[in-house]
Amino acid sequence: MAEAGKEGLISSIAVLARTGLSRATLNNYIKMGMIPAPIVKKPDDPSIKAKQIGYFQDSVWGTIDKIRLYKKEGRSMKEIGSLLSLKSNKPSGENFPEIPENDAGTFSEKRCAVNVPVGNLEKEPYSEDMKQRESHDMPIPETNDIQLTIHELQYPSYLLNNKFEIEWINPEAEKIIFGRSIRSIKIAEGRNIFRLLIDMGSSLESHRPMLDFHMSMFAKRFQKKEINKLYPAITKNEIYMLEDLYDRMDNQSSPAVLGAYMNLSGDPETIYQGHKIQFREGMLCVYAPADKMMQGVLELLSRRGRLINDLLKQRLPTQIFFAVMVADLQDSVRICAELPPEEYFALINQIWKCMEGSFRKYYGTYGKHTGDGMVYYFLRDSDSNYIMNAILCAMELRESMKKLSSEWKINKGWFNDLFLNIGINEGEEYFGMIPAAPSIEFTALGDSVNYAGRLSDLARYGSIWTTKNLISRLSEEERKIIRYGIRRKQQDREVMIENVFSRVMDLVPLDSPKSSKFMDIATLPVTEVLNLR
């Protein structure tokens, strides 16, 4: 190996800058014996204030190129390590020295390592371009190296939904931040971050940086009047305290926006820096020791698509109130047999297309389904009436199907009517995400969905059926504007009796071939939803 100080040696700063690797990745290559351990010596550049820095032979460029080539060929890291084995040069396991900081001052002045364009870094170890890239909201360029995953993230981290409720959390955050199990809280409202911080028991001043950090996010998106809706049973004192925090938020210069520094309850000796990344689904918060390199974390956060997918797969199962709608195309088997395959699929696609606008309008969430039917959930939300939304959505779907049926009659020249039979139910059950290739499906576990499916089977000719329990959850004013009831035969005519219910067993005679299909809901009181008054 070349002696220190002679030509042919490349500093670790230059290696990271030119290759775009993270420090953690380069460390791993050294530990696996792919790259020789660096020579550790005093920096050649007097502007670098670190006492020691690692220097590599210039052959490191070719080795890194080989690693990337092998990875593109689909080889595993273990296989690549065997191909590039450098056992004689393999280090004892110690990391090479950290990239020097530009200033060895207070923790609030220290900086994270970032990928930078190739340049004369020996002369300019900390350029203005590097400063600009350190903005917490600025994306970090991706490299071909996949290092850290959400499973391997060792810093306290959690995902907040748009109501500031924790939907995923790692063990480090439970231990170091909260000192308790958050995953055991099954009600989503109980995992509201403001509620958790206020309920921690010790002086609020000790949690002030954490509260400021989250209030800065809240203030960017909501008006102050929304604070009283943050979580159920919020007290007046809590509202006043949070409103005071809100008033003091200056979204342009607040430290919570530029990067919050704080002590955490479970590790009071360490200064942590809060980092956040915002998605459509919520906000991921990561807390790293202020004197640690964050490159691996920043690269993880930059891979938004994969990160979101990983997080959604791990969302905590939550017990919540909801309404569920199951809609199924009547006589779908017969229609499938009558139509050429391309026309049948075109019909199904048209049905989905004309329905999706209604589901968005009434805040429906797509769920796991089978066959030609569809399942949508309407979740309880402080800003919407989830049960009324489900009913109004069902009525709108029925009208949309009537129009589509008329169009198909004209275009196809057939006499078949298209009907979407709908069942609606309500419940309070556990919700979670089921990973499925290539997407993630949202589902509830329990009888509520099964009952809604049975009601869609009971429905005929585009009718809408629901349960007595669901109607009972509507307010008196809402019940007055909805027409519902049971059709009864009286001699040779059918009579609609409004505002009544019937057991399923009384609607499907025992001697009917279909009766066995409804045995599990035989005693369930149900009614048909007709229209609005």
Sign of CA dihedral 258, 262, 266, 269: positive
522 DSSP β-pair partners: none
| Identity of the amino acid at 253 | S
**Total of domains in the chain:** 3
Contact by Cβ (8 Å): 393, 304: no
pLDDT for residue 71: 76
Q: Is residue 146, in this structure, part of any structural domain at all? A: no
Of the candidate ranges 111-120, 200-209, 447-456, 466-475, the one whose mean pLDDT is the lowest = 111-120
- Specify the pLDDT at position 317: 63
> Which residues make beta-bridge pairs with 427?
322
Q: Are residues 387 and 498 in the same domain?
A: yes
Token reading at 363: 């805040």
Cβ–Cβ under 8 Å, residues 528 and 484: yes
How many angstroms separate the CA atoms of 365 and 378, rounded?
A: 6
pLDDT at 335 over 70: yes
Q: Nearest-CA neighbor of 40 among 95, 89, 88, 101?
A: 95
Output the pLDDT for position 480. Answer: 92
Per-residue pLDDT, averaged over 268-280, amounts to 81
For residue 332, pLDDT over 80 is answered with yes
Residues 298 and 326 in one domain: no
Any domain includes 148: no
Of 313, 336, 362, the last residue of a domain is 313
300 versus 180: the higher-pLDDT residue is 180
Same domain, yes or no: 388 and 258: no
Considering 133, 148, 178, which residue would you say is the last residue of a domain? Answer: 133
Half-sphere exposure of 482 (CA within 13 A, CB side): 27
Q: How far apart are CA 12 and CA 147, in angstroms?
A: 18
Do 377 and 482 share a domain, yes or no?
yes
Whether 147 is covered by a domain: the verdict is no
What integer is the mean pLDDT of 81-94?
A: 54
User: What DSSP string describes 228-265?
Assistant: GGSSTT--HHHHHHHHHHHHT--TTT-HHHH-EEEEET
The percent of residues in the chain predicted with pLDDT above 90, rounded, is 23
**pLDDT value of residue 444:** 64
Q: Which of 142-156, 217-231, 486-500 has the weakest average pLDDT?
A: 142-156
Is 388 in the same domain as 528? yes
CATH number for the domain harbouring residue 486:
3.30.70.1230
Q: Read off the pLDDT of each residue in 117-125 and give the average, rounded to a whole number.
A: 31
Domain match, 293 and 324 both: no
Q: Stretch 432-456: mean pLDDT, rounded?
A: 68
Contact 429, 444 (CB under 8 A): yes
Q: What is the mean pLDDT of the chain?
A: 75
CA–CA dist 297, 273 (Å, integer): 12
Considering the domain architecture, whether residues 252 and 362 belong to the same structural domain is answered as no
70 within a domain of the structure (yes/no): yes
Q: Is residue 286 within 8 Å of 407, Cβ to Cβ?
A: no
Tell whether 139 is covered by a domain. no
Residue 427 lies in a domain: yes
Angle of the 23-31 helix axis to the 295-302 helix axis, nearest 10? 110
| Integer Cα distance of 393 and 282 in angstroms | 26
Pair 390, 423 in one domain: yes
Q: Which of 129-133, 348-352, 398-402, 414-418 has the lowest mean pLDDT?
A: 129-133
Residue 459: per-residue pLDDT:
93
- Distance, CA of 163 to CA of 60 (rounded, Å): 48
Q: Partners of 446 in the beta sheet?
A: none
Percent of the residues in the chain that have a pLDDT greater than 70, as a whole number: 71
In tens, the pLDDT along 17-72 reads 777 777 778 887 887 888 888 888 888 777 676 677 888 888 888 888 888 878 77
Write down the pLDDT at residue 384. Answer: 67
**Residues 363 and 417 reside in one and the same domain:** yes
Q: Are residues 290 and 397 in the same domain?
A: no
Lowest mean pLDDT among 65-74, 319-328, 330-339, 440-449: 440-449
Mean pLDDT of 196-218: 81
pLDDT in tens, 469-495: 999 999 999 999 999 999 988 878 889
Q: Are residues 343 and 481 in the same domain?
A: yes
Strands 283-289 and 267-278, bridge-based pairing:
antiparallel
Residue scoring higher pLDDT (280 or 43)? 43
Q: Where are the beta strands (DSSP E) in 300-346?
A: 318-329
Using pLDDT thresholds of 50, 70 and 90, give the confidence band for residue 104. very low
Question: Do 400 and 355 touch, CB atoms closer than 8 A?
Answer: yes
Residue 114, Cβ density class (10 Å: 0-12 exposed, 13-18 middle, ≥19 buried): buried
Q: Which pLDDT belongs to residue 302?
A: 52
Q: What's at 531, amino acid-wise?
A: N
Nearest to 287 by CA among 183, 174, 189, 131: 174
Domain CATH code at residue 184:
3.30.450
pLDDT score of 428:
80
C-alpha pair distances (Å), 248 with each of 234, 254, 263: 20, 9, 21
Mention every residue, 6+ apart, whose C-beta is less than 8 A from residue 42.
Answer: 51, 52, 53
Return the number of other C-beta atoms located less than 10 Å from residue 504's C-beta: 22
pLDDT in tens, 499-515: 999 999 999 877 777 77
Task: Identify whether residues 358 and 333 lie together within a single domain.
Answer: yes
Taking the whole predicted model, whether its pTM rises above 0.85 is answered as no
List the domain range (segments joined by +) for residue 301. 157-313
What mean pLDDT comes out for the span 397-404? 93
pLDDT of 4 reads 38
Q: What is the 3-state secondary structure (H, E, C) of 55-94?
A: EEECCHHHHHHHHHHHHHCCCCHHHHHHHCCCHHHCCCCC
**Which has the closest alpha carbon to 57: 13, 18, 2, 99?**
2
3 within domain boundaries: no
pLDDT at res. 449: 84
Domain-embedded: residue 108 = yes
Of 100, 133, 166, which residue constitutes the final position of a domain? 133
Give mean pLDDT, residues 398-416: 88
